[in-house]
Structure 1
């Protein structure tokens, strides 16, 4: 390589300038401690080679050369070799120290601490991450040694250590952001979901020993961890607002069991929790349905799941569960309802029977089973506490209850000669009457049913 050199004496001493064939111009002051040390090492013809930058060394400084750096602090000159020179920031404050755990060597600097790993590579810790790491005990603390250099993500800086990560989000409007530890199961989920999705950590991990839960908030969501199912995130572009409004992991839904999934009918989304789920018929989180979602939980949620949830007959929930009294609850769905009482459990209402019952048919009580469509000629029926509803395309929907129910049963229900009911019970001069396809039942004043065949 062709090089040139010249000297220039100024009021502050003698400078020696060199230029490499690549055009890089370097220089050093020959009368400083660093210049004298460099000359003692053979100057340009020694192992350091030519300087590659012009640095004023009248005070503390660090001069890069072709093969290593020299650092001067308070008249003391130290050598900075690879891999430290590539990763360290600042002026060296000591020579490398080896024999550290794991076959490491360490060299300290004014603005960083750098390590040479057993494979010869270098890592350094600097800036606010170094300050936080030092406050946590440094290499002997809970985080241990650095495993990689800090990397920049869309949300900030993060660096990997033996015991977890330290992350620092970018400060909006110049406001400071804390350097936060991410560790354990929450770290595992954070790495899977990604910093670009969750953003920077907004707070430290907190744990609730009574519920065996830990959680940590991020700019775009929150991660919950439990020993039962591990760690899962709930995203702001998702159900986070709804979930937290319901008490989050200590509320009726419990901790998350899955991630957000948008594979439902018509592109809808859902997320499962320990005791329920949240549903949205769309992945458009700006819409009214998408922004909030609807919860299913408890006995009604269990029934909904047994009916194949949004993929089943009922479709997506359209309202939250409503319990007008503590012993009666119901929830509306796009294609029906689920009603629950302690005595009947949770059962589905839908179609014509559901519409008739909601339109004043509650005198038969609450459903004790789902609709059964095994009647003759594709008809359907459904049992309630005090009666039974029957439907067919030819006869419509009608309840049979009280004494008529017992008589109708003896005559074989819809499979018998009477067929399906064609009217509700009504009053005549002779007593209460109900019409069927094959005749009528008359409940006379003597207290028994009479069959009137067609």
Structure 2
């Protein structure tokens, strides 16, 4: 314990040196990760020392941890938090708070209030140790205990982390351990105001002049003796005077067309929630995907920018997303008939209805089904994926099936004729694959097959099979 305490002043001093390295881009230099399948979970957490923005905007963040102190110390720290939240609200600024688990345990109402006001919660560990002194298991325990405290307070970090003391924030092993626990965003910072050292305004002002750059992430502190809460309005006014605006941390980790799609959907207030990864290559360098709490947004030059989420995303993921036969989405999720939903993709579609679940349709079977009115037609929604059958392929729908065979094409079979066809063995029967849709004849209805036909007599209410 003595050794640990002796390290802390050195670590804090190192922060001041590291803070001057504002030329670091979005990611730090790390050794190459092993090649992974496209649209796979990141191998390491992405380190953001700055947001993606190249315009004159900054993100304001605070770190928040205090142990039970004297009543007077706790009262000052809580008043500081109230000040920060009030100043943010007065200026229309959404910030981020690196919160420790022990703070959330001791102050669940305050933790929940931060998130309720729209600010981003970051996992700042449970008890604020130096992560470079911990084993993998100890790191995971710190992350898990903090998340448990967040859940009890009704909030989540959504897989965002900030390293206590900034220790090891660029360390490849640490960022690998984070990713293995589902933490893919390591929100670092460009510079610290040093308010936590009780720095006066001249010092803070000088640091803003020296280190502010487009996309900067500025870290401040709440707990006494920090001067940041009292200086916050001055800090905001100074940045505005320098021509800077403010971008929320939710937005700082998005960019380009994916950011535009995210914001158009409502940003962090939308069904997507927070980004849980940086922007990733989806298949190749000219494609992109970004994961969010409840969805993903994809981009490719050929398909544009579209989102997939919910049950349709679950199905898409089970198939391999962009590496599957479906490839990239070409529509957003869209309302279908009878309360269902669908996404179209380059190689097919996924349709979802509560009664049938989510299923893919593609190729000639999809073309036939679409020609018959898709989910709004008499066949209704798919209730299976396309399946390999004897001599061809088939998909089942709510009110009938569509079959495909080489040379015969795709055809629907439904109702009484379908029931008889299935009782005989379907495509594996002597009849073989259908060669026509069901059509009207003098006595009723008929479907032709490769080696015969099934006729339904409407007057006699009988079904007959013809072989040839």
Q: Normalised by the size of structure 1, how large is the TM-score? A: 0.53
Q: 1:433: Cα distance to partner?
A: 1.1
Structure 1 partner of 2:368: 356
Question: In structure 2, what is the equivalent of residue 399 of structure 1?
Answer: 412
**Contact (CA 8 Å) 1:395, 1:420: kept in 2 or not?**
yes
Bigger Rg, which one: 1
1:151-230 aligned at under 5 Å gives the runs 151=20, 153-154=22-23, 192-195=47-50, 197-198=52-53, 202-205=58-61, 206=95, 208-210=114-116, 214=120, 226-230=156-160
1:376 equivalent in structure 2: 390
| d(CA) in 1 for partners of 2:309, 2:464 | 48
- 2:278 is equivalent to residue 259 of structure 1: yes
CA RMSD, 1 decimal: 3.6
Using the alignment, how far apart are the partners of 1:356 and 1:103 within structure 2?
70
Report the 3-state secondary structure (helix = DSSP H, G, I; strand = E; otherwise coil) of the residue aligned with 1:365. Answer: coil
Residue in structure 1 matched with residue 444 of structure 2 by the alignment: 431
Q: For 1:103 and 1:382, how far apart are their aligned partners in 2? A: 65
> Is 1:317 the equivalent of 2:329?
yes
Larger RCO, structures 1/2 (Cα 8 Å, 6+ apart): 2
Whether contact under 8 Å (1:440, 1:453) holds in the other structure is yes
Equivalent residue number for residue 416 of structure 1: 429
Q: 1:452 to 1:211 in 2, by over 3 A?
A: farther
Structure 2 match to 1:278: 297
**SS in structure 2 opposite 1:235?**
coil
Cα separation, partners in 2 of 1:149 and 1:404, compared to 1, 3 Å? closer
What's the CA shift string for 1:222-278, capped at 9, x where partnerless? xxx953412536232462222122222231112122111114157421011111101
Query: Does the alignment pair 1:247 with 2:266?
Result: yes
Q: Answer whether contact 1:323 1:330 (CA < 8 A) is retained.
A: yes
Shift of the 429–197 alpha-carbon distance from structure 1 to 2, 3 Å rule, reads closer
Q: What are the Cα deviations for residues 347-401 of structure 1, in whole angstroms up to 9, with x where unaligned?
A: 111101101111125211110011002x123x00011111111110121111111
Does the Cα contact within 8 Å between 2:400 and 2:414 map onto a contact in 1?
yes
Bigger fraction of residues in helix: 2
- Taking a change above 3 Å as real, the CA distance of residues 203 and 342 of structure 1, as seen in their structure-2 partners, is same
**Partner secondary structure for residue 202 of structure 1:** strand
User: Which is richer in strand?
Assistant: 1
Establish whether residue 330 from structure 1 lines up as the match of residue 342 from structure 2: yes
Go from structure 1 to structure 2 and tell me whether the alpha carbon gap of 1:404 and 1:229 turns closer, same or farther (over 3 Å shift): same
The answer to whether the Cα contact below 8 Å between 1:336 and 1:349 also exists between their aligned partners in 2 is: yes
Match for residue 287 of structure 2 among 265, 268, 275: 268
Q: Secondary structure at the match of 1:277?
A: strand
1:365 aligns with 2:380: yes
Query: Residue 235 of structure 1 is aligned with which of 254, 259, 262?
Result: 254
Q: Is the 8 A contact 2:453 2:467 kept in 1?
A: yes
Equivalences, count: 270
Tell me the equivalent position of 1:449: 463
CA change 1:147–1:356 in 2 (3 A) is same
1:387 aligns with 2:405: no
